[in-house]
């Protein structure tokens, strides 16, 4: 069974067709990079996976989208429950104006089943996973807003991990960060791959090449090319892919 | 050449702006100063804590202060809850665009209705139809209605100002829309919501027309014991002191004392609002 499987997925915003007949499948514990010029539908595809597009007026979708073999757009699926299995990290860090600790505990408190001691354990675990623990362990009560941009983004990753999703979505998670923070997060993605399946949108082809196992190239709402990252950059099949990865349009 | 002309234009504009703002400050200071000058000699401990005596020529204004506070409290509590809920609905939960537009239009229209019309409406609805009689409850509800447009608008703006990225982040972590509202949107918007509420308090305190037919007593120098009684109130007492005192010469200074009290109370709420806003803004940095 695939972790993620899209079957002829099309998306409209009102009358505008943002995705056109996209099909792809992704194995467990793989990193998938979505690349393509801006406006080509990368975020749209990513946000399909945790049903974040549901809130957009005029949004309509056709086709089937399966996660762990389950049709996530079937009426029985509660998007709120889905999002506990599918974590998301956004382009700009979005720390809540709470303490570092409360940020990471946020998703855990929603479920109302854990004792404070368990929450504390999972907060520490998540912060360690996000490679942030050593930097903040003495300041857990401090406001998350006081952290640097790179730390804030790792906090957001920790916050997502604390809920223990199996699929992690990242929408250009490093585009607002400096090179050192970017390197840290890429390293983190490498580590997380052992336990998570990750779908990451990036406009940076080197990044796609560095962090991903699979790469999907979108262009004007269509999935032009999809394959193993190794082959993708050394031996693209489509002329449009070649033009894009050699930087001749964008 | 154009540069020079631009400089002159800027200079002129700056001059104009400072003259106008200083003028406004002077006028405002003049009004406050005048009332303070005329009223200060009257105000004292006994004036603020004792009931009226001998018609209203002697004694203090305590029952009017207490009455005003009661009516205002009812108005702000009821208006605060309804206004915040309606603002939240408009900003966060309304999915039907037509209904949302209709409500917004209604709110705008209500904001333009003269306050005396609210008074009449309050008389017809709360005093007569609902049988509340002239009472603190009827007056408070009328004032709540009057301040609703302002409170709804303010709450709506406060909730809308919370970054969508934070709401999305919360939803992305598996929070329901209601959880997102209660745990993220509401706490972050609270400074602005409260600021609007406290500002409305200052305004409601001074309203005269809506209380005329719904709660205000001409002369009732006792303290209200329940929400179902009429009471004296500061703005109406002020009006009475000036227009229908038996001997206006005697009551004239008391009118200034009453005006100064009212002014100080309104000012206290306005300053509280400013302070609240400042403190909570620091806390949440929004
Ligand atoms: N909320 C929306 N309403 C209408 N159109 C949208 C919305 N979001 C995105 N689009 C359109 O859909 C297309 C794909 O957008 P997006 O998925 O964000 O692209 P990408 O992430 O690749 O830059 C763009 O043309 C964009 O203008
Ligand atoms: Mg995007």
Question: Is residue A208 included in any domain, yes or no?
Answer: yes
For B42-59, how does the pLDDT look when each residue is reduced to its tens digit (9 = 90+)?
888 888 988 888 777 788
Q: How far apart are CA B36 and CA B256, in angstroms?
A: 8
Residue B60's pLDDT is 86
Using the Cβ of A199 and the Cβ atoms of chain B, whether some distance falls under 8 Å is answered with no
Question: Is residue A119 included in any domain, yes or no?
Answer: yes
pLDDT band at A142 (very low <50, low <70, confident <90, very high): very high
Point out the residues of chain B with pLDDT beneath 50: 1, 286
Residue B283's pLDDT is 64
* Residues in contact with ligand 1 (CB, 6 Å cut-off): A 13, 16, 18, 36, 38-44, 56
Question: Is residue A177 included in any domain, yes or no?
Answer: yes
Task: Tell me the CATH number at A19.
Answer: 3.40.50.300
* Total domains in the fold of chain A: 1
Secondary structure class of A142 (helix, strand, coil): coil
pTM, rounded to two decimals: 0.86
Q: How far apart are CA B165 and CA A175, in angstroms?
A: 16
Residue A90 to residue B168, Cβ atoms within 8 A = yes
For A42-91, how does the pLDDT look when each residue is reduced to its tens digit (9 = 90+)?
999 999 999 999 989 899 999 999 999 999 999 999 999 999 999 999 99
Residues in chain B: 286
Among the partner residues B165, B176, B188, nearest to A80 by beta-carbon distance: B176
Residue A96 to residue B169, Cβ atoms within 8 A = yes
Residue B5's pLDDT is 67
Question: Is residue A250 included in any domain, yes or no?
Answer: no
Phi, psi of B20 (to 5 degrees): -65, -45
Centre of ligand 1 to C-alpha A44, Å, is 6
Listed in sequence order, the DSSP H helices in A137-213 are: 149-162, 179-192, 205-211
Q: Residue A219's domain spans which residues?
A: 4-245
Average pLDDT of chain A? Answer: 93
Domain B61-284 belongs in CATH node 1.10.3720.10: yes
Q: Kindly list the domain boundaries of chain B, sorted by start residue.
A: 61-284
Give, for A38, the enclosing helix (H) or strand (E).
none
Residue A249's pLDDT is 56
Among the partner residues A84, A94, A163, nearest to B169 by beta-carbon distance: A94
- What residue of B is the nearest CA neighbor of A109? B175
ipTM of the modeled complex: 0.92
Span A113-124, mean pLDDT? 93
Q: Whose CA is nearest to atom 20 of ligand 1?
A: A39
């Amino acid at each position: 069974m695939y972790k993620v499987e899209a079957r002829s997925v099309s998306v409209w915003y009102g009358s505008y067709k943002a995705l056109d007949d996209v099909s792809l499948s992704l194995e467990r514990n793989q990193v998938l990079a979505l690349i393509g010029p801006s406006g080509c539908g990368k975020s749209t595809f990513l946000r399909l996976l945790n049903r974040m597009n549901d809130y957009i007026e005029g949004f309509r979708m056709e086709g089937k989208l399966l996660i762990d073999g389950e049709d996530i757009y079937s009426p029985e699926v509660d998007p709120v429950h889905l999002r506990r299995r599918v974590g998301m990290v956004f382009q700009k860090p979005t720390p809540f104006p709470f303490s570092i600790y409360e940020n990471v505990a946020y998703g855990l408190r929603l479920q109302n089943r854990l004792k404070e001691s368990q929450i504390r354990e999972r907060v520490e675990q998540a912060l360690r996973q996000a490679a942030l623990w050593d930097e903040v362990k003495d300041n857990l009560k401090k406001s998350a807003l006081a952290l640097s941009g790179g730390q804030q983004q790792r906090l957001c990753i920790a916050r997502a991990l604390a809920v223990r999703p199996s699929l992690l979505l990242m929408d250009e998670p490093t585009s607002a960060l400096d090179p050192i923070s970017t390197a840290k997060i890429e390293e983190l993605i490498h580590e997380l791959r052992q336990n998570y399946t990750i779908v990451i949108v990036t406009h940076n082809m080197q990044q796609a090449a560095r962090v991903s196992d699979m790469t999907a190239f979108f262009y004007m709402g269509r999935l032009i090319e999809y394959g193993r990252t190794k082959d993708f950059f050394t031996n693209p099949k489509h002329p449009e892919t070649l033009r894009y990865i050699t930087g001749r349009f964008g | 050449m154009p540069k020079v002309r631009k400089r002159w234009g800027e200079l002129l504009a700056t001059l104009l702006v400072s003259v106008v703002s200083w003028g406004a400050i002077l006028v405002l200071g003049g009004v406050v100063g005048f009332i303070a000058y005329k009223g200060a000699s009257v105000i004292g401990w006994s004036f603020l804590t004792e009931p009226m005596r001998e018609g209203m020529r002697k004694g203090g204004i305590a029952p009017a202060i207490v009455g005003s506070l009661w009516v205002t409290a009812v108005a702000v509590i009821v208006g605060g809850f309804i206004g915040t809920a309606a603002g939240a609905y408009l900003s966060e939960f309304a999915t039907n665009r037509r209904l949302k537009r209709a409500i917004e239009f209604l709110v705008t229209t209500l904001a333009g209705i003269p306050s005396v019309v609210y008074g009449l409406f309050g008389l017809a609805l709360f005093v007569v139809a609902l049988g509340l009689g002239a009472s603190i409850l009827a007056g408070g509800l009328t004032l709540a209605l009057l301040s609703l447009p302002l409170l709804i608008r303010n709450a709506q703006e406060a909730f809308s100002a919370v970054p969508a990225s934070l709401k999305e982040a919360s939803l992305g972590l598996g929070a329901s829309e209601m959880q997102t509202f209660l745990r993220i949107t509401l706490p972050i918007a609270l400074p602005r919501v409260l600021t609007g509420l406290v500002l409305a308090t200052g305004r409601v305190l001074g309203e005269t027309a809506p209380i005329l037919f719904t709660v205000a007593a001409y002369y009732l120098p006792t303290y209200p014991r329940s929400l179902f009684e009429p009471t004296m109130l500061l703005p109406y007492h002020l009006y009475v002191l000036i227009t229908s005192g038996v001997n206006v010469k005697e009551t004239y200074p008391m009118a200034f004392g009453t005006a100064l009290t009212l002014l100080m109370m309104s000012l206290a709420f306005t300053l509280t609002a400013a302070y609240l806003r400042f403190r909570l803004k620091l806390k949440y940095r929004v």
